[in-house]
Structure 1
Amino acid sequence: MDPRRVLVFRAVARSGSLSAAARELGTTQSAVSQQLRQLEREAGSPLLVRTSQGTRLTEAGVALLARADTVHSALHQAGEELGALASLRTGSVRLASFPSAAATLVPAAVRALRDDHSGVQVTLVEVEPPEAWTAVLSGDADVALVFGYDGPPDDDGALSWVPLGIEPLHLVLPPDAGAPARVGPSWLREQGWVAGCERCRRHLVDSCRAAGFEPRLLHESDDYVVAQSLVAHGLGVTVLPQLALTAFRHPDVEVRPSSGFGERHVGMVHRPGAEGVPAIRALMERLQAGAARVLRPR
């Protein structure tokens, strides 16, 4: 099976149409169509079904796309290795990160890398850990900053995990919350809560249930600035990790430690072998150095 045709197929599958893939590849739609027909003959099965809205993968196409992503990622890494032979004078790294790490760990690390190797380009996309993990698996990101509650994220062994440290979770309360002795399960049961992303919300609910009460979820926001502003105006309470509070601390909220809500294990994931690419390794080293100044050692 010709790997060049496999990459043409990946471009069509990922873009959703032959015309979009042709634009991406800098060729004609008829040339893309011809490459696909030859690939389907080699595969012995249709890979795509043409529809009025674009293309749809067949079962064989879904299976091939997973392998095509691996080929795409491997070729990207090979290109980076070749481009970085001259002491990191060129190269690029695609980084995915959850929001609070993107606001705290990433800027200093990228600036440090640029100061040392101005020819290395880092691009950042801000996404939650499940999407960041998927981006690395699909070959659309080289490194992802992710976290897991009370331990590293669940891993099937497809990616390599590099721990960076541990951050505690804190109760964020309005300024009139009162003495610490007052803020117990019975008081928290009566409050409205501001919840974050789906995984964060699930962890919050599980922690509250473990403490003996069901949280009354009133507001949902992935934005830690919005969450703190709601709390500052007396519209609820919430739980936020240390990195979020490092990135932004509203002057009118009170932050208290609360071991009952656990902690987050922060780390990086990448495809096995990616750490051998000089530009990727250089960024990872700077992220590790920055995390050592902010996070608790694991």
Structure 2
Amino acid sequence: METSPAPNPTANQAPAAPTLDPRRLLILRTVAQEGSISAGARALGWTQPAVSQHLQALERSARTPLVLRHAGGVTLTEAGRAAVAHADAVAAHLDAAAREISELAALAGGTVRLAAFPSALAALVPSVLARLAARTGVDVRLVEAEPPEAVELVRSGDVDVALTFGYADPDETDRASGRPATPSADLPPDLREVALGLDPVDVVLPAGHPAADAPALTLADLAEDDWVAGCVRCREHLVASAAAAGFAPRIRHETDDYVVVQAIVAQGLAVSVLPRTALGAYRHPGVVTRAVPGLDGRSLHALHRPGAERVPAVAALLAALPPGTASDG
């Protein structure tokens, strides 16, 4: 009994599409523009045999003739005309890429994503954006985030740079000066840091508070007052500073909004502490601010992934954040 041959699953399949070298497509394009292989070779700065070899290799890959050679030069076949049309598109994309990269390198363009906490967005970031706009064409996209969230945004690649802050332990002192140690922002070791200076923290009192004009105000003088506390880090700093001064603050209100903090204080309902960046962004007319001993400032930092500082747009942003400006408030 005769048996029919087993079917060949690939017998009716179309042959695989050829793989074309884009560099050779561009060579074909030049030859077509110049009208001959010798003229194309001169335009490319190559020898005629080298150009011929590349064209022959391209035709082998295409599995069909692309040019017809004759005494007057070359004529494109139908397949050759299709190949040159695609080569034109390749050349246009490469030209656009070169121009875009050139603009980015020259800071005529580019985007950098910046995360920052609210008071930095209000008091520090606007001047940074103004400096960048005056010097470069960099486009900055802003995201509001407290330090822990901002750090994760940098790690995940959702932002390029994060502005963060941190407080020192009030019990830690610098051995050389006897003064409080420079605040630590608990900087993550996998990220790079640019120090932006110290942001002093002041006591905020109602204008009519008995201690508003005290000649030598201390934190302990406010032990009997009610307090408004801010974010988790700010509240921890207040509690630690008060403990170092010998009391536990009676925290009656909690809000991250420094405008609300001052509104509550202005009504005589509580006292508080705020960094000068926040006070620089908004100052309620009904409050008085005082610097007191034992109330350390916070350190400000810009964080980014290793190597990001070599990206021109990121480097421009970091350069617009000059160290030391945070303590000018």
Normalised by the length of structure 2, the TM-score is 0.61
Choose which of 176, 187, 190 in structure 1 pairs with 2:208: 176
Tell whether 2:143 aligns with 1:131.
Answer: no
Tell whether 2:224 aligns with 1:224.
Answer: no
Aligned-residue offset at 1:169: 0.8
Aligned-residue offset at 1:115: 2.5
Aligned-residue offset at 1:152: 2.9
Q: How does 1:81-100 map to 2 (within 5 A)?
A: 82=101, 84-100=103-119
Match of 1:284 in 2: 318
Q: Which one-letter code corresponds to 2:113 in the other structure?
A: R
Query: Does the residue aligned with 2:127 lie in a helix, a strand or coil?
Result: helix
Query: Does the residue aligned with 2:197 lie in a helix, a strand or coil?
Result: strand
Q: Could you list the per-position Cα deviations for residues 81-107 of structure 1 after superposition, in whole angstroms to 9, with x for gaps in the alignment?
A: 947545122210000001111111111
Query: Could you tell which deviates more after superposition, 275-284 or 152-161?
Result: 152-161
Match of 1:122 in 2: 140
- Cα distance in structure 2, aligned partners of 1:238 and 1:84: 48
Match of 1:161 in 2: 193
- Cα distance in structure 2, aligned partners of 1:89 and 1:215: 52
| Mapped contact 1:83–1:91 kept (Cα < 8 A) | no
Choose which of 103, 108, 126 in structure 1 pairs with 2:127: 108
RMSD: 2.1
- Cα distance in structure 1, aligned partners of 2:222 and 2:154: 39
**Higher normalized helix content (fraction of residues):** 1
Identity of aligned residues (%): 50
Q: Could you list the per-position Cα deviations for residues 174-223 of structure 1 after superposition, in whole angstroms to 9, with x for gaps in the alignment?
A: 11222425854554121110000111111111111111111111111101
Choose which of 276, 286, 292 in structure 2 pairs with 1:258: 292
- Cα distance in structure 1, aligned partners of 2:188 and 2:327: 26
Q: Could you list the per-position Cα deviations for residues 99-135 of structure 1 after superposition, in whole angstroms to 9, with x for gaps in the alignment?
A: 11111111111122123223x2110011111111111
| Mapped contact 1:177–1:183 kept (Cα < 8 A) | no
Q: Could you list the per-position Cα deviations for residues 248-274 of structure 1 after superposition, in whole angstroms to 9, with x for gaps in the alignment?
A: 111111100013121111110000110
Tell whether 2:301 aligns with 1:267.
Answer: yes
Distance 1:171 1:185, change over 3 A: closer
Which one has the largest radius of gyration?
Answer: 2
Query: Does the residue aligned with 1:260 lie in a helix, a strand or coil?
Result: coil
Aligned-residue offset at 1:292: 4.0
Match of 1:145 in 2: 163
- Cα distance in structure 2, aligned partners of 1:233 and 1:185: 20
- Cα distance in structure 2, aligned partners of 1:117 and 1:232: 42
Q: Which one-letter code corresponds to 1:123 in the other structure?
A: R
Query: Does the residue aligned with 2:158 lie in a helix, a strand or coil?
Result: coil
Query: Could you tell which deviates more after superposition, 151-160 or 272-281?
Result: 151-160
Distance 1:86 1:204, change over 3 A: closer
- Cα distance in structure 2, aligned partners of 1:84 and 1:279: 11
Tell whether 2:272 aligns with 1:238.
Answer: yes
Aligned-residue offset at 1:167: 1.5
Distance 1:185 1:92, change over 3 A: closer
| Mapped contact 1:162–1:268 kept (Cα < 8 A) | yes
Match of 1:204 in 2: 238
Query: Does the residue aligned with 1:173 lie in a helix, a strand or coil?
Result: strand
Q: Which one-letter code corresponds to 2:194 in the other structure?
A: V
| Mapped contact 1:97–1:132 kept (Cα < 8 A) | yes
Q: How does 1:5-16 map to 2 (within 5 A)?
A: none
| Mapped contact 1:195–1:221 kept (Cα < 8 A) | yes
Match of 1:193 in 2: 227
Q: Which one-letter code corresponds to 1:170 in the other structure?
A: D
Q: Which one-letter code corresponds to 1:137 in the other structure?
A: R
Distance 1:275 1:284, change over 3 A: same
| Mapped contact 1:195–1:220 kept (Cα < 8 A) | yes
